[in-house]
Structure formats: C-alpha cells, structure tokens
Chain A
Amino acid sequence: MKRICISVGVLLSLWRAGYGQTTTEPAYEKRKLKVEEINLVSSYYQQDGNNSAVTGGIGTEHLTDFAQSLDLVLKTTDRRNRRHTITFDFNIDHYTSASSDQIDPLTVSSASRSDTHIYPSIAWNVHNDATRTTRGIALSYSTEYDYKSYGINVNFAKASADNNREVSLKAGAFFDTWKAILPPELRPEGYGSGAHGDTDPVDYKPRNSYNVSLSLSQVINKRLQVLLTVEPAYQQGLLSTPFHRIYFQDGAETVEKLPGSRMKLPIGLRLHYFMGDRVVIRTFYRYYLDDWGMQAHTVNLETPIKLTSFVSVSPFYRFSHQTAVRYFAPYSQHKTTEKYYTSDYDISGFTSQFIGTGIRMAPPGGLFGIGHWQSVELRYGHYIRSTGMVANSVTLLAKLK
C-alpha cells in the first residue's frame, strides 16, 4: 500500500509540473493535441492455494503481483470537425510466484521465480458527429521472460440519429511467441534450460488469438441502458503450458498436453439503472462456452451509492461458475492412454466469489488543492474459489483532467 501511494504521488508531481507549462499556450492553438485525461492505476494482488499446475496439481500457488498503469488520453479536432482521440497505455507489473520457482529449482529460478511483465499499447480513434461514426485502430505489445505478444485491433461504431442506440464492431489479433521452458527432468538430451547464459537451444512456439466483438447498446429510458456483446474468439498454436507437470496413475511423469486450437463463445449482457437520486445499479451477466467442454456463468453486481455530491461508495459482488475442460484431472488421476491432459485448476470445474467495495472522491475544486486532480478511487476485493484458492486485491486509481 505504501509503494502504491509513493508511486502515485511521484506521478502526480510530474503531472502537476507538466500542466503548469501548458497554461501559457496561446488561444489560437486550440486545434493542437491536448491532454484530455490521465489515469494512474496501482494495484497489489496476492493469492494462495495448494493446487499448482507446475507441480502437477499439488503444491503452493502463492503469488504476489504489483501492477502499475498509466494511460494518457489526448484529443484534438480536425478541420472537418472530426474528433481525434489518441490513447497511450503503459502497464508494468512485477510478480513473484512460488510455484514458478518449482519449474527448475536447481538452475533456472530465473525462469520465473519473479518476473516483470511490460505491456504498452496505443489507440487512435476518430469520431465524426455528422455521420455519428467512430473508427479506430490499436496496437499492443507485451513482453515477459519467456513470452512475447504483438496485437492489433480495429473498431467501428455507428450511433442512431437520436444517439440512443449504438452498434459497434471490433476485430483483433494477437501474435504470440512462447519460449518453451521444460522441467529439467523432462528435457530431451541437449535441450536448453532457457536460463541466461545457457547456450543449449530451446524451442520457440507460436500462439495466435483472433477475436471479433459485436455490441449493441440501447438507452431504454431516462434511467436505464443496456449493452449486449457477443465476442467469439479462436486460438491456435501452443495452448498448453510447457512447464506444467502431469503425473499419471502409474507414477509416470510428462508435461501438460492440450489441443492446438480452441474456439470460445462468450455472450455478455450489461444493464445499468439509475435508481432515485443517489444509487446506480450496475449488473453484468456472461454466458461462456468453448470447444474444450467448458461452460461458465458469471454474474456481477455493483451498486455505487452517492453519499454526497463528491463521495461515493461502491460495494460489489461477483459470482462465477465454470465446468472443467474435458482434459482435466487432478494429481495422479490421468491415464497414459489419454490423448490430452492437464492438472491446471484454472480450467477445472469450480465456483468463485469476489466481494469488496470501492470508495471514490471527486471534489469540485480538485483533490488536495490540485485543480486537475479530478478524482481518486480506492478499491478492495477478496476472492475465494471452491478449489481452496483465496486472493486479495487492492487498487488505487487517480484521474487527472
């Protein structure tokens, strides 16, 4: 928590200094790209459990993750009166994972005892009031010790004449490369460990993801609006994790093996209702199925309550239930005759609950005398899974305008 506060404080100081310079700009430059909004998000997450996939479905799942995000939104209007929005999003998280330390405890603890994950993205959107359309493109990159990902997304949206309805279409692709690090006892002769300084070769495997999202939003009346989203996705390549161990009934050991493709179909419905003058009811439901045999239902309810004109609290509750993929079995339960096998409890059958609350402050004159610091939000949640895993998450968001 202390680290979160310090990092947000440093970023705020930088922002304040930067803003001081922009106030001297002459009025005729109003078509220049201007900073519209900055969001700083810091988060700390920790989990614990006893079903690590690295050790075949048993062993510690202890993990901590400290994440930071900075998104910068720039806006301008061109000569044809179209609004351009450019969003830079920079994310970095540092995690420590006790189970990953078991990949190769003797030589390659660097293979992921702790790691830093960096994932920036840039998005450009153009909105045309005359045609009520928005077009955009986004590029993303992600890197960690054994994984790299390049992504591209395009989007198009058109609103109705009364702006009460909007249809949007998004399409995206991610092209990933995975350095296949194997547990030491399962490496073929001459196969490298993947550690820095090890000159023996390791395999690099692709994993590509494609998705299309079709959404329809509708204002129902002065207090109610809904959003329906259908987002089919297809993945191909190495979808198993090469350092997840499998132990068979006869005691033999190998690594996780899953099909080379996966088709997913999630359908989401969001419904937001403004009740009275102070309470907003935000609901979300998702139905999910895929061709690995998993079905899932997820329900989320959040009720922001405006205590005063600038303070609100937002208690929330999320419930999710999923069935196991057909290739899952616990430790030492797989048979050697099976074609595919996993003991990863993340794709087993379970129910999960996430409960917590957020508090948001947005005083009219800005926070702590800083006029541009529009709001701050602190959010805490406790996650429990029927497999025995528990997690806690705390997030601090600062918004500057």
Chain B
Amino acid sequence: MKKLVHLLFIAVTICFTAQAWSTDTYQFQDEVTQKRYQSLVKELRCPKCQNQNLADSNAPIAADLRREVYELLQQGKSDGEIVDFMVKRYGDFVLYRPKVSTLTYVLWFGPAVLLLIGVIVVVIILRKKPARKVQKSLSNQQQNKLAEILKDK
C-alpha cells in the first residue's frame, strides 16, 4: 500500500511538471488568459506527434504552435478564433475533440448505439430464460421411472 501511494505521488508529480515546462516560459497579464492558454494547448493536437497535445509534445512544431497560441491570445483573439486559425492551416485533425459533422456521426454516436444494441440483446436473452425453465420439469412417465429407480435403492 505504501509503495502504491509512493508511485501515485511520483506519477502526479510527473504530470504536473510536464504541464509546467510548456507554460512557464510565457508571461500572462492575468490568470484568466493563462487558464485559457492552458486549456487551448490541451485541446489542440500536435500535428507531428499525433498521440500528444501541444502541451505535452516536445516536437519543434508543437513549440511553434504554442507560441502562436500565446501570440494570438495577446492579440485579444477569442478561443474560437484561435481554434479556427489552427483548423484552417492543419485541418480538423488538430482538434482532440472532433467536431460533430456527417463525417464524425459514427464516431460520436457509434458507442451509444452499440451500447443500446447490447442492452436490447441482454433484455431479449433474459426474457427468454424463464420460459425454458418450465419445460425442465419431468413428464409423468419420467416421474414414474424416477420413483421406480428410487424404490430399488
């Protein structure tokens, strides 16, 4: 248990330091802008190293795009405008949460539909079971045979 707590502590520390190095180079005029910056670099995906967001990535392009986000924030751009700026240049791909469109319906609603199908299947199976149990009781002929066998013993 003690070991586990220790490991957890290390993991949490690593998470926080990873966040820190990508933000500490920039000065923000207020806390709100800093919060917006941090959420933006977490929402935007690094186009070079695709499993990471801008905040976590060490790729040079991620550093450039972080700087771009910072500069756009300094220019007073809204979050939507900054996201549009990135999408215009790097495509929908830069968004970690894909937009809801005809292309992404399956992505957004597929899991819910699958879950629904699963629930329906389970309900159907559960409803069928009791009906079978009734049939399991022995017929008269079988009862008699059973009685005979038991008598012999």
A and B form one complex: no
Interface residues of B, Cβ cutoff 8 Å to A: none
